[in-house]
Amino acid sequence: MIYLTIMKTRIEQREQDLYTAVSPTDKEDMSHKALYRSAGEKSKLRKEWAASSPPPFSPDQPPKLSFLRIHMKKIVFSLFVGGFLVIAGLIILLFIRTQGKELSIIFPRKGAVDAGEVVAVPILLHNTSRILLKDVRIFMTFPQDALVYREGTFVRPPVQLTHIVGDILPGEEKREEVQLSFFGHEGEEKALAVRIEYRPEHVRSSFSYEEKLNFMITRVPILLSWELPQQVTEGQQIEVRLHYTLQGSLPIENVSLELLYPDGFVFQGADPSPDEEKNLWHLKTLEPGVEGRILLRGTISGNEEEVKRFVGVLGLGGDGKGGQLRVLTEKSGETIIARQPVSVEFISENGKNLFVTPGETIFFPLRYKNNTLIPLNDVRVRVVLDEVFRADTDASVGTNLSTLLDWTNLSVEGGGILDTGARSIVWTPGGTDVLRELLPGEEGTLSFSIKTRVRPAMRSVRDQRMEVRAHAFIEVPRVPEELAGSVLHGEDTIVRKVHSVILFEGKSSYYASVLPNTGSLPPRVGQTTTYTILWELRNFTNDLGDAEVRVRIPPNVRWEGKIFPVGARITFDETSGEIRWAIGRVAAGTGVVSPSLNAAFQVSLTPAANEVGATPTLVDEIRFHARDTFTDRAIDEVRDALTIRVDDPQSNPQEWRVVP
């Protein structure tokens, strides 16, 4: 409550002192004492007048009075009025400057509020003086992130809000009230500045007084809660959820949520997707009682028994326009990198993200270990193999058909067997004696290998960006009594990205050519014969980038300047004799599920006499270069030089040598 009191002013008291009635006898006595202080002074004054010339009194001339004596009453009155005005002005000035303690504002002592709580602040105006107070106004300055109730709803107020009260009669009370709501983080102080301005009747100057009402935000009614696994394993792929709910009565606008990830967490995706970077969501408006959720996906790594802390920070602003996030509340959630009771891991010198080239054999060695102080019995180890197409998105698409792995060429060591239906390799105590009992700290190795096909099968353009994934699991079905309540389970995953298969061919042609050729076959000394060089490119599972073909022609071969198709990016450098086909991007499935890329150009040969009986070269070694955009592998392949030994069905060996 703001309480204003105007008490009986010093002005009224001063007026009473100045205008107290004086008796006629006192006035006469005061005047007599002022003019004739003693009899001696009176006699002395008369002698001075008698000695002066002309005499002060003459029967023919009235006496001349001095200017001071004539205007004495006016002078005295003027001095009296002037003195009164000066005293009154000083009193008023003193009142304005010091406020004379006539005005006091008393605030309610409830300084603790919840963020978003509706707070009613009463303002009581009480005029206890005998003077009419005019033009009373209240000026309120609000802190940042405050709402004020106006016209039936809570709105963001201007920096300063003015409320006109009007006049207050002597002894009258007027009560005003403002309803507020503050937003901020726990422990933050919010100050409401109130200034009251008024003017006493018959006084031109206005009086004002200002105080501040401080509020402390002791609670933010926004519930944040993390949903995390209690323990995770090194390199494990996890899902993390953050739930948020507004428990207040008013909606909160311009809200953003920022997530801070621990070291070792690799963000892979979220639902909904973040609005900025990988950790900022613009939630806009939080409605009371409505729960929201952020789902995170990623992998986490770290040392055993290392604590990993996720932090959610919810605040105002942070909308990407240069404003900082003004924190309302934050909440952390923790998980720990557990020391697994039993563990299994793939052994790889090059890490977990490896590559495979179609046609080669993949080896999968793995290590298992008992990390407890208790012997473990009847241990089982299982590895599941999957072929996955990632298509043109990050969503994995599994396949039940084997397009790359040749299961007829599977080799398993250590007594494991193939579970055909589950496409997995299993080691059990029945076939692997060492798994009957694992002593504390004991470890061992198992392995298998499988051959891949030279050309993976493709059925559509979505069969691209292939991966071979191996998931290893170790389990102990019978938990020892000493480890009751523990889950004796471990797992590991290894991923091998599959390189794309490139089929590039070049050939020389005379008859079966997209460019008509001229001249004799076999070629004759001194006569010109034209040939066509044809290139064909096919690409399997991954897109290629920066693809190009380069070749040089010998000095005795001439570039004819004819290419196919028209507009193909085939160029000839006369200085170096190099021909370049700049292809650029080659889509996955080109020449497999869609037409192949083809290009051709024409050259001519005029044999010399020393070439009789020879098979001259038309182009030197052909060099193909590209980059696999999925595995980031540089592809460099070389094809043999092409001669006049054309690749046409109707051609015969007699046409492949120069004749005289």
Domain ranges in the chain are: 222-337, 342-498, 502-656
Decide which of 642 and 129 is more confident.
Answer: 642
Residue 468 has pLDDT above 80, yes or no: yes
Please give the torsion angle defined by the CA atoms of residues 580, 585, 588 and 589, in that order, rounded to the nearest 10 degrees. Answer: -50
State the pLDDT at residue 656: 95
Per-residue confidence at 90, pLDDT binned at 50, 70, 90?
A: low
Per-residue confidence at 30, pLDDT binned at 50, 70, 90?
A: very low
Q: Residue 40 carries which DSSP code?
A: H
Mean per-residue pLDDT, 484-501: 87
State the pLDDT at residue 70: 59
Q: Is 305 exposed, middle or buried (0-12, 13-18, 19+ CB in 10 A)?
A: exposed
Question: What distances in angstroms separate CA 157 from CA 40, 149, 181, 280, 321, one per listed residue?
Answer: 81, 9, 11, 28, 22
Architecture of domain 222-337: Sandwich (2.60)
And the tokens for 143? 């802190």
> Out of 63-72, 237-246, 412-421, which region has the weakest mean confidence (pLDDT)?
63-72
Rg over CA atoms, the chain: 51
Question: What distances in angstroms separate CA 204 from CA 96, 171, 587, one per listed residue?
Answer: 11, 21, 87
Q: What are the helix and strand counts (H, E) for the chain? A: 5, 43
Question: What distances in angstroms separate CA 432 from CA 365, 378, 415, 442, one per listed residue?
Answer: 16, 10, 5, 15
Residue 537 has pLDDT above 50, yes or no: yes
pTM comes to 0.50
Residue 538 has pLDDT above 60, yes or no: yes
Domains 222-337 and 502-656 alike in fold: yes
Per-residue confidence at 11, pLDDT binned at 50, 70, 90?
A: very low
Q: How far apart are alpha carbons 626 and 162 in whole angstroms? A: 73
Which residues have CB under 8 Å from 274's CB, separation 6+? Answer: 280, 281
With respect to CATH, is domain 342-498 assigned 2.60.40.1530?
yes
Q: State pLDDT tens for residues 370-422.
A: 988 889 999 999 999 998 887 654 445 555 456 899 999 999 999 999 998 88
Q: How far apart are alpha carbons 469 and 463 in whole angstroms? A: 16
Per-residue confidence at 493, pLDDT binned at 50, 70, 90?
A: very high
Contact indicator for 342, 313 with CB cutoff of 8 Å: no
Q: How far apart are alpha carbons 254 and 314 in whole angstroms? A: 11
**Fold for domain 502-656?**
Immunoglobulin-like (2.60.40)
Q: How far apart are alpha carbons 635 and 197 in whole angstroms? A: 83
Which helix or strand (DSSP H or E) is residue 114 part of? strand 112-114
Give first-to-last CA distance, the chain, whole Å: 121
Contact indicator for 342, 371 with CB cutoff of 8 Å: yes
- Position 421, amino acid: G
Closest CA to 289 of 252, 254, 249, 253: 249
Q: How far apart are alpha carbons 276 and 613 in whole angstroms? A: 72
Closest CA to 226 of 293, 315, 280, 316: 293
State the pLDDT at residue 162: 84
Per-residue confidence at 2, pLDDT binned at 50, 70, 90?
A: very low
Q: List beta partners, residue 508.
A: 533
Q: Is 506 exposed, middle or buried (0-12, 13-18, 19+ CB in 10 A)?
A: buried
Per-residue confidence at 49, pLDDT binned at 50, 70, 90?
A: very low
Q: State pLDDT tens for residues 94-125.
A: 444 434 334 455 555 557 877 777 777 787 77
And the tokens for 421? 């239906």
Q: How far apart are alpha carbons 177 and 292 in whole angstroms? A: 36
Contact indicator for 268, 257 with CB cutoff of 8 Å: no
Backbone dihedral angles phi then psi of residue 83, each to the nearest 5 degrees: -65, -40
- Position 218, amino acid: T
Closest CA to 445 of 558, 575, 344: 344
What SS3 class is residue 2? strand
∠ Cα 210 212 215 (to 5°): 165
Q: How far apart are alpha carbons 23 and 43 in whole angstroms? A: 30
With b for 16 or more beta-carbon neighbours within 10 A and e for fewer, the 3-20 pattern comes to ebbbeebebeeeeeeeee
Question: What distances in angstroms separate CA 420 from CA 62, 583, 585, one per listed residue?
Answer: 153, 43, 39
Which residues have CB under 8 Å from 485's CB, separation 6+? Answer: none
∠ Cα 605 607 611 (to 5°): 135
State the pLDDT at residue 617: 96
Q: How far apart are alpha carbons 394 and 489 in whole angstroms? A: 29
Q: How far apart are alpha carbons 222 and 256 in whole angstroms? A: 13
Per-residue confidence at 140, pLDDT binned at 50, 70, 90?
A: confident
Q: How far apart are alpha carbons 530 and 660 in whole angstroms? A: 17
State the sign of the Cα–Cα–Cα–Cα dihedral 346, 350, 356, 359: negative
Q: How far apart are alpha carbons 313 and 258 in whole angstroms? A: 5
And the tokens for 345? 């891991």
Per-residue confidence at 175, pLDDT binned at 50, 70, 90?
A: confident
Number of residues that this document lists for the chain: 660
Decide which of 46 and 516 is more confident.
Answer: 516
Residue 153 has pLDDT above 60, yes or no: yes
Q: State pLDDT tens for residues 424-447.
A: 999 999 999 999 999 998 999 999
Backbone dihedral angles phi then psi of residue 203, each to the nearest 5 degrees: -120, 130
Q: State pLDDT tens for residues 309-349.
A: 999 988 887 765 546 777 888 889 999 886 778 999 999 87
∠ Cα 35 38 42 (to 5°): 70
How does DSSP assign 323-380, residue by residue? PPEEEEEEEEEEEEE---SEEEEE--TT-SEEEE-TTSEEEEEEEEEE-SSS-EES-E
And the tokens for 396? 């994995």
Contact indicator for 364, 346 with CB cutoff of 8 Å: yes
